[in-house]
Chain A
Amino acid sequence: MKNTIKVERAKKNWTQADLAKHIGISRQGLNSIETGKFIPSTVLALRMAKAFNTTVEVLFQLDDTEQ
């Protein structure tokens, strides 16, 4: 699973701490999601998409091997 969280964060000029506060998780937790070590739940993914005014599909995509 790959994600574009870092790109979306850069567009909004948000730090990891800013986004983490918005979606109600720890900064370390967000770092774990951003680096692909942890796959978030649907609720958290939707919350993240809402914070960026985008969709979950834009934020998260399956790897070529997962499709």
Chain B
Amino acid sequence: MFTYLYEAKHSTSIFMERSGKNESQNSVIFALIYGATYLPAAWLLKHQMIGKPLSIIVAIIPIITFALFVLKLIKAFSVMDEVRQRVQLEAVVIGFSLTAMLIMLLFLLELCGVSNPGWFGYGHLVGYCWLFYFVGWFVSKKKYDV
């Protein structure tokens, strides 16, 4: 009986670990799909190679893939162990805070008449947002040594 319970507990933790890995892999795959739709869409729209009705569809596709990626990320988050959850949470908090700070700074500089849209357009802000998330991830991983 005890052996059976031990085996059951052991296999449950292995299942949790595998399930966590699968979910993490899924979220990485969906992140790549998002990247694979976002970059060509941005390129096509920037060079105005397609008509307006099709442009709108092309503009929406990366948003859909991003939404799917976020859903997969949330699912992966729910099966992560608590140390990894903390790392992800801190990465998001740091990423969000730095992005909010940058947007505030840009807004205030714009009021002063000092702004450079060539470096800080909407498209660039998406890039900075990702960059800040990875900064937060790196900092948090270092903090908890995982």
Q: Which residues of A contact B (CB under 8 A)?
A: 21-26, 28-29, 31-33, 35, 37-38, 40-41, 44
Contact = CB atoms under 8 A, between A and B. Distances in A.
9 contacts: A22-B9, A24-B17, A25-B81, A25-B83, A26-B17, A31-B146, A32-B145, A38-B82, A44-B82
Identify the 6 closest CB pairs spanning chains A and B, nearest first.
Answer: A29-B83, A24-B13, A25-B81, A28-B146, A32-B144, A24-B16
Nearest to A24: B13
A37 B145 contact: yes
B64 interface: no
B10 interface: yes
Interface residues of B, number: 16
A21 B82 contact: no
B35 to A, nearest CB: 26
Given A32-B146, A37-B144, A38-B144, A23 B13 contact: yes
Given A24-B81, A26-B84, A38-B83, A31 B145 contact: yes
Nearest to A43: B82
A25 B82 contact: yes
A33 B9 CA distance: 21
A16 B143 CA distance: 19
Contacts of B84: 26, 29
A44 to B, nearest CB: 6
Contact of B10 (A22, A29, A32): A22
B89 to A, nearest CB: 12
A29 B13 contact: no
B82 A29 contact: yes
Contacts of B81: 24-26, 29
Given A29-B83, A29-B84, A35-B145, 6 more contacts: A22-B9, A25-B81, A26-B84, A28-B146, A32-B144, A38-B144
